[in-house]
Amino acid sequence: MSEAAPGLTVDSVTGIDVSLPVAGPGARAYAFLVDWHIRVILALGWYVCGALFYNGRFNVTPPLISDARWFGAVVAPALTIYFLYHHAVELAMRGSTPGKRMAGVRIVARDGGAPSAGALLTRNVFRLVDSLPLFYGVGLITVVLTRDNLRIGDMAAGTLLVFEQAEARLPTPAGDAHRAGRLDAAGAEIVAELLERWPALQPEARVRLARQVLARYGSESGESGDDEAAWRTRLERLARPQQR
């Protein structure tokens, strides 16, 4: 639930605040490592392909004499990919990167909205300081020490990293069962969730959980020798609206 993680609470014009769970050092590091691998692979890929094409044979070593074509077509693009990856990708993906997507986080402004282009660029310029002296030492320390887990780039740009709240599935049958008046909202959700997860559960777990749920919410009880299908039918009956 949203209370579990430290969060940013943003005032809204509706009067109902917006809760944003703030990402900690772990999620940040995970996102960074994924992005780092992506940019290394892209930069190296460009370098190797460019070098093979330039040399015209299976050889990736640079020419002995400095050559503008080599530098312009092989070295400069690879360095550009490596060093401008975050600037370009965050602008193109509006505050996200493939790594951040995988880690389930995104950048937001302090008002909970999407950050401006200027804020994203400023955030990335300050990587120069955050990455000092080695392996993002300064950034990591400030992330650990600050309340909202901010690195210096975030402080400068007025941004922070929040968890991209995955779409929680609304239990479809819950409404029906609830409407029928037999289950409270929590019970309806539990029954719906159990039915959703039924195929993924072990047979013993199916029976055990169904028995517990029915004992708590159901009016009918099963026999210990009943098979799984019978338990499922009883759960489905509980979740269905009653015929009147």
Note the residues at the interface with another protein (CB under 8 A): 1-2, 10, 12, 14-16, 18-20, 66-68, 71-72, 76, 79, 94, 108-109, 111-114, 116-119, 121-122, 125-126, 128-129, 152, 155-158, 165-172, 174-175, 178-179, 181, 184-186, 189, 193
CB 164, min distance to another protein, A: 9
CB 68, min distance to another protein, A: 4
Q: Which of 64, 21, 41, 50 has the alpha carbon at shortest distance from 163?
A: 21
CA angle in degrees (0–180, nearest 5) for 99-28-39: 35
Closer residue to another protein, CB minimum distance, 15 or 203 = 15
- From start to end of 133-213, where are the E strands? 159-163
Closer residue to another protein, CB minimum distance, 54 or 71 = 71
Give the chain's largest Cα–Cα span.
90
Residue 133, preceding peptide bond in cis (omega within 30° of 0): yes
* Cα 90 to chain centroid, rounded: 15
CB 225, min distance to another protein, A: 33
CB 126, min distance to another protein, A: 6
Identify any residues that bridge with 181 across adjacent strands, giving them in sequence order.
Answer: none
Closer residue to another protein, CB minimum distance, 148 or 207 = 148
Closer residue to another protein, CB minimum distance, 42 or 180 = 180
Closer residue to another protein, CB minimum distance, 25 or 104 = 104
Could you tell me the sign of the dihedral formed by the alpha carbons of 124, 128, 133, 134, in that order? positive
